[in-house]
């Protein structure tokens, strides 16, 4: 049966993120039971209408679904391992950050104990929870996600990725890779321009335009990777490698750290040495350890 607006929910873990999650459920009108190791962190939520459960076991029994959000998987296993806990038939949605192996192992463990289990990843900061800006990824059995989606919608933009419980964590770290790469590239450019007296705020809109332009290339490049074929339609890797030399030399000449461009050039050089200089940039996927078939 699908959830309705008055579906009771439980939130276990009331750190910065757990408090935001419980607050969003309360705001959406769900009867909300909470539990936290340090009970004082429930005070504000209790004042807003939440019920503080005396034990984890009691908290789990109160909700049609239980969202867990603690520091790490170890903490989650510790608190669910308490002897009074009956997991049979419960719906657990674990929004604790971790890696894909931890997610799959937690799913096996939960299912062995008779629980339904979805793993999730929150790609947002606590103040965004409850708004469309908060992207929350889920993976695991689709029927479990669909049944509880109306309730999970209270938390933000909820997305289902697939049956493999590891997917939410993988998308999470893939997003981090994208975020830090874009930020570090921007910092490199900002450092270069500051040597000529251009401040960060002046460069930012220009950098934003470049990042958006490069993002446009991704679907076409993805087709090349999936096909394992990298014809140099717009540029060959050896042309990119020459431009990388300019970036390195320019950085060194003005005293800007060139470690990142050197690392990128090392990968490109390896690929060129392996005979891929005449192919297009995404051929570098092979440097990331994914076996290609070309």
Which residues make up the interface to ligand NAP (CB under 6 A)? 13-18, 36-38, 41, 69-72, 75, 78-79, 96-97, 122, 125-126
If the CB atoms of residues 123 and 283 are measured against ligand NAP, the closer one turns out to be 123
Task: Please report how close the Cβ of residue 92 comes to ligand NAP at its closest, in angstroms.
Answer: 15
Nearest CA to 71 among 151, 15, 149? 15
If the CB atoms of residues 168 and 193 are measured against ligand NAP, the closer one turns out to be 168
Spatial contact of 68 and 92, defined as CB atoms under 8 Å apart = yes
If the CB atoms of residues 41 and 194 are measured against ligand NAP, the closer one turns out to be 41
Q: For ligand NAP, which residue has the nearest CB?
A: 15
If the CB atoms of residues 135 and 225 are measured against ligand NAP, the closer one turns out to be 135
If the CB atoms of residues 76 and 244 are measured against ligand NAP, the closer one turns out to be 76
Task: Please report how close the Cβ of residue 128 comes to ligand NAP at its closest, in angstroms.
Answer: 9
Q: Which DSSP symbol is given to 231?
A: B
Q: Which DSSP symbol is given to 275?
A: I
Spatial contact of 211 and 254, defined as CB atoms under 8 Å apart = no
Task: Please report how close the Cβ of residue 161 comes to ligand NAP at its closest, in angstroms.
Answer: 16
Nearest CA to 11 among 48, 59, 43, 79? 59
Q: How far apart are CA 85 and CA 101, in angstroms?
A: 24
Q: What are the angstrom distances between the C-alpha of 123 and each of 39, 195, 208?
A: 26, 35, 21
Task: Please report how close the Cβ of residue 157 comes to ligand NAP at its closest, in angstroms.
Answer: 14
Task: Please report how close the Cβ of residue 18 comes to ligand NAP at its closest, in angstroms.
Answer: 5
Cα-trace Rg, the chain: 24
């Amino acid at each position: 049966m699908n959830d309705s607006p008055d579906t009771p929910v439980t939130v276990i873990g009331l750190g910065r993120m757990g408090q935001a999650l419980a607050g969003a459920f309360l705001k959406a009108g769900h009867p909300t039971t909470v539990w936290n190791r340090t009970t004082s962190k429930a005070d504000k939520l209790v004042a807003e209408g939440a019920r503080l459960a005396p034990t984890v076991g009691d908290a789990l029994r109160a909700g049609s679904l239980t969202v867990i959000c603690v520091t790490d998987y170890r903490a989650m296993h510790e608190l669910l391992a308490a002897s009074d806990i009956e997991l049979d038939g419960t719906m657990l949605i674990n929004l604790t950050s971790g890696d894909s192996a931890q997610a799959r192992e937690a799913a096996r463990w939960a299912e062995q104990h008779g629980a339904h289990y979805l793993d999730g990843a929150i790609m947002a900061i606590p103040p965004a929870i409850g708004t469309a800006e908060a992207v929350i990824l889920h993976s695991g059995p689709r029927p479990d996600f669909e049944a509880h989606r109306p309730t999970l919608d209270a938390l933000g933009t909820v997305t289902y990725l697939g049956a493999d419980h590891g997917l939410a964590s993988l998308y999470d770290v893939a997003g981090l890779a994208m975020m830090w790469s874009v930020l570090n590239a921007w910092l490199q450019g900002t450092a270069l321009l500051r040597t000529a007296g251009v401040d960060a705020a002046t460069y930012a809109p220009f950098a934003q335009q470049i990042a958006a332009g490069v993002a446009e290339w991704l679907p076409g490049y993805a087709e090349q990777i999936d096909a394992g074929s990298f014809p140099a339609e717009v540029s060959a890797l050896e042309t990119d490698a020459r431009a990388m030399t300019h970036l390195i030399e320019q950085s060194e000449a003005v005293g800007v750290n060139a470690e990142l461009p050197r690392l990128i050039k090392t990968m490109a050089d390896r690929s060129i040495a392996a005979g891929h200089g005449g192919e297009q940039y995404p051929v570098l996927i092979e440097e990331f350890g994914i076996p290609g078939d070309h």
